[in-house]
Structure 1
Amino acid sequence: MLSDPLVRFAPRAIDQQWRYKHLVPLSLAGFNPFLRTLFHASNSALSRWLADPYSSARDYNENDRLTREVLFAAHDYLHCWSAAVIAELAPWVRFDTGPILRDTLEDFVFCHLLTEAAATVGLDYWYLSTIDLDERIPIGTTLTTLTVNYHERYVSEYRRFCPDWDAQHPGFFGDIARFYCSGVFKGFDVQDVRRSPRLLNWLSHELSYGAKQREYTREWLAFLAAVEISDEPRQLAAPVSLEEPWKQRLIHELGLVLFTKVKEDSDSGLVLRNRNTPPESPKDRLPDFRFVNANVVPLTPEAAAHPKSLRYYVLQRIAATALDGVSEDTQRALLHALRREEYEAALRLIEPAERVPPVGAEPRDLFVLN
C-alpha cells in the first residue's frame, strides 16, 4: 500500500479527535475508489505516523487508533486496486471511466460489490485471519481482524457445521462476491448459527450488512450518475443479477488475481493504468451530504430539508472543527444535540469554533455514509 504508485494518500481538513472521544459516532475520512486515493484526517494518528511510517508505531497507537486506521486504509487500498483490476479485466464495463447511466447502473453496482468483496476477503479472510496480528506487529495491539469476526484458529468449529469448509482458496472470493450480490450465504443455516456462538459472532455481521451494502451502493452510484436515477426504497437492497456470463468470468478472474496478490505478493502480470476518468456527480445536483464533501460544498436549504443529508452535513461540519478550541461544556452540549437529532442546534453550537486549517484541494464526491 505504501509503495504502490496506483494510489496516493491525501489528508482532509478534519480532526479525528472527535471520533477518538466518541463525540461523533463514526469516522468521516470518507472514500472514493474511483479516485484511487486513500483519504485520512489531517489531525489523526495515521497522519502523524505517515510522516515517518518506518519508525516505532507505539507512540501513535493509543487505544489502537493507529492500527485501526492503517487497517482501514489497507481495506480502502484493496477497493482502489480491485477497481483498477476490473478496468483491465472487463474494459467494456467502463467502470473506471464512467459516465454512469440508467442502463449501466446495475453493472457498476455489481463491480463495486466486487471491490467490497476484494477488500474484505483480501484483508480479513486471506490475511488477518491467518496470522496473530500482535505477533506480526508487536506493539500490544488488541485487534485481530477488521470488518469480520472470522479467524482460521476457529476452523474446527466452522467445520462442525460445514465439514468441507475452506476459505483459503481462490474460489472463496466468488463465494463472498455472490453472497454480497444475492444475500445467500452458502454452507451454514440459521440452525447452525443458533447452536454456535462462534458462528453467530462471525456471520451475524455479514448477514445483516449484506443488504445494506447493496442499498448503500445503489444510492451512491445513482448519486454519481450523469442522469437522474431514482429507485423505490424497497428495490435498493434487491439482489444483483449474476446470470450474465461475463460476471461469472470476472468473479473467477478477479479471485485468482486477488489470491495471487495477497498470498504470493505478485501482480499476476497485470499492468494497471495509473490514470482514469472517475465518474462525477453533476454540479447542479442537489447535494446529499452522505455522498458530498461538506468541506467543499455549502449546505443549501433544500439539502437541509432532507434529514439523512442534514445529519451527515452536521457530522462532517463538526469533524472539520478543531476540537482543542471547543470547551468541554460545548462538547457535552453537542453530544446531547446529536443524540436528540437536534441538528440545527448542533450547527449553532459549532459555528463560532475554529475550523481545521485547509490541507489542499479536496474532492466534491466522497462516500461518508457508514
Structure 2
Amino acid sequence: MLSAAPVFTPSEPHPESLVRLPIVRRMLSDPLVRFVPRAIDQRWYYEGIVPVSLAGFNPFLRGIFYAKNSALSHWLAAPHGSTRDFNDNDNLVREVLFAAHDYLHCWSAEVIAVLAPWVRFATGPILRDNIEDFVFCHLLTEAAAVALDYWFLSTIHLAEQIPMGTTITTLTVSYHERNVSEYRRFCPAWDAQRPGFFGQLARFYCSGVFNGFSVQDLRRSPQIRKWLAHELSYGATQREYARLWLSFLAAEEIAYEPQKLAAPVSVQEKWKQQLMHELGLVMFAKIKEDSDSGLVLRFRNEPPTSPRERQPDFRFVNANVVPLPPEAVPSPESSRYHALQRVSATDFDSVSQETRRAIARAFKREEHAEVSRLIEQAERVAPVGAEPRDLFVLN
C-alpha cells in the first residue's frame, strides 16, 4: 500500500530544498530585498549561445534580478520543495547561490550606509571628489558577497548537506577548507575562519596584494595556484568594473584613463580601516552565525542614477528599457552588450535551431549588426512589470 507523499511547509522544507541553507532562508524572508523578474529567457545562456548571464545587478536598488524564463523563476514558486526537478545541469543551484551572493551585496551596502553615513554610499550623488570612496565601498560589498564562499560554502560539502546530486562546491572561488593543510604549508598562520579575514580580503581587492603567499608559492602548489591566480585576476577586474560602473552613474562626467581603471584603491584612511573592521564583524555574524547583529537597516528612496541625457552604455543600461538611439555610435563594448541583451530578451522557442546556430556564429565573429538582423522578426519575451534603467550586466 502506497502512503501519501509528505507535505513540506515553510517551517519544514524538503530534505532536498535549498531553503535548508540558512543564507537562502534568510534571503527569501528578508524585507530589505525583493526578487525582480526581468523579461529575458535564460535558455540562451543555458545553451551556450549567449556566453554570459544577463539577469543583471544593482545593489543600490535592493533587488535580486532574475530571468522570467529560468530555473530560478520556476523554483521561486515552490522553494520549499525538492530542488531536483528544477536543477538540470546545476542551473538552479548556481542561480540560487548567485542570488544569495547578490543578496549579500545589497545587504552589506545598507550596512555600510549605517556604519559610515557620511559617505552617503547607496544614496549619491556620485561626484569627482567622492567617487573613489564609492569605489572603496563597492569593493567592500564585493568582499561581503565573496565571503559566502570563504565562510560558508568552503566549509561544507553541499551535495551532502542538501542531497540533491549537485556538482557545485563553491561559487566564485575555488578555495575550500578541506585544503587548509596545503595552504598552511606556505602560510603557517593561515586562518580564513575569523572576522579579521574580511579586512584581509577587502585590502586585497583594493590593493591587488594578497598577504601571506608569494608567486613562488603558486608555482609550487597547484591548489594555491588554482585559487589565487583567479583571485588576483578577479581583484583587478573588480576595481576596473567598479570604476566604470560608478563613473557611468555619476552626476557629472568622470573619465578614468584606461591604465588607471585597475589601479589600487587607497585603504589608509582611518575611517576605511574602521569600516573594514566593523563590517567584517557584521558579515561574519551574518554568514557564520545567521545573525543580523541587531542592525536596523533603513529603506532609502534615492539611489544613484545615471543622467538621462547620457549616451547609453549597454554594459550598464537595461536594453529592455532604453532603446539604442538611431543616431548613436556605441563603443564596441556597448554594442556587444546591446546585442547580448537583445538576444536574451528574445523568446528562445520563437527562433529556429538553424537561426540559433547562426546567432552563435555571429557572436563569435563579433558581428553584432548581424545578430540584430537575425532576431529582428523574432518574438520578444513578454514584459513582466517595471524594470530598472540602470543595470550592471557586464561580466
TM bin, normalised by shorter chain, reads: over 0.9
Code of the aligned partner of 2:310: R
Matched, 1:91 2:117: yes
Q: Which of 107, 123, 132 matches 1:106?
A: 132
Give ranges in structure 2 of 5+ residues lacking alignment: 1-26
Aligned partner of 2:105 in structure 1 is 79
User: Residues 2-24 of structure 1, C-alpha deviation per residue, up to 9 Å, x if partnerless?
Assistant: 00110000100000000000000
TM-score, normalised via structure 1 length: 0.99
Q: CA deviation at 1:269?
A: 1.4
Code of the aligned partner of 1:176: L
Aligned partner of 1:259 in structure 2 is 284
d(CA) in 2 for partners of 1:244, 1:320: 44
Check whether the contact 1:16–1:319 (CA below 8 A) recurs between aligned residues.
Answer: yes
Secondary structure of 2:29's aligned partner: coil
Aligned partner of 2:201 in structure 1 is 176
How many pairs does the alignment contain?
Answer: 369
Q: Which of 141, 145, 163 matches 1:138?
A: 163
Matched, 1:201 2:226: yes
User: Residues 25-56 of structure 1, C-alpha deviation per residue, up to 9 Å, x if partnerless?
Assistant: 00000000000000000000000000111011
Aligned partner of 2:5 in structure 1 is none
Check whether the contact 1:16–1:44 (CA below 8 A) recurs between aligned residues.
Answer: yes
Aligned partner of 1:147 in structure 2 is 172
Aligned partner of 1:26 in structure 2 is 52
Matched, 1:36 2:72: no
Q: Which of 62, 76, 89 matches 1:63?
A: 89
Matches within 5 A, 1:228-267: 228-267=253-292
Q: Which of 71, 74, 77 matches 1:51?
A: 77
Q: CA deviation at 1:305?
A: 3.4
d(CA) in 2 for partners of 1:140, 1:89: 41
User: Residues 232-271 of structure 1, C-alpha deviation per residue, up to 9 Å, x if partnerless?
Assistant: 1011111001111000000000000001111111111111
Q: Which of 311, 317, 324 matches 2:349?
A: 324
TM-score, normalised via structure 2 length: 0.92
Check whether the contact 2:313–2:330 (CA below 8 A) recurs between aligned residues.
Answer: no
Q: Which of 359, 362, 366 matches 1:334?
A: 359
Secondary structure of 2:28's aligned partner: coil
Q: CA deviation at 1:309?
A: 0.3
Secondary structure of 1:14's aligned partner: strand
Question: How large is the RMSD of aligned CA atoms in angstroms?
Answer: 0.8
Matched, 1:11 2:41: no
Secondary structure of 1:69's aligned partner: helix
Check whether the contact 1:303–1:309 (CA below 8 A) recurs between aligned residues.
Answer: no
Q: CA deviation at 1:156?
A: 0.3
User: Residues 100-123 of structure 1, C-alpha deviation per residue, up to 9 Å, x if partnerless?
Assistant: 0110100000000000000001x1
Q: Which of 302, 317, 326 matches 1:292?
A: 317
Secondary structure of 1:11's aligned partner: strand
d(CA) in 2 for partners of 1:213, 1:207: 10
d(CA) in 1 for partners of 2:237, 2:161: 33
Check whether the contact 2:345–2:380 (CA below 8 A) recurs between aligned residues.
Answer: yes
Matches within 5 A, 1:205-224: 205-224=230-249
d(CA) in 1 for partners of 2:230, 2:108: 23
Check whether the contact 1:288–1:303 (CA below 8 A) recurs between aligned residues.
Answer: no
Identity of aligned residues (%): 73
Q: CA deviation at 1:302?
A: 5.4
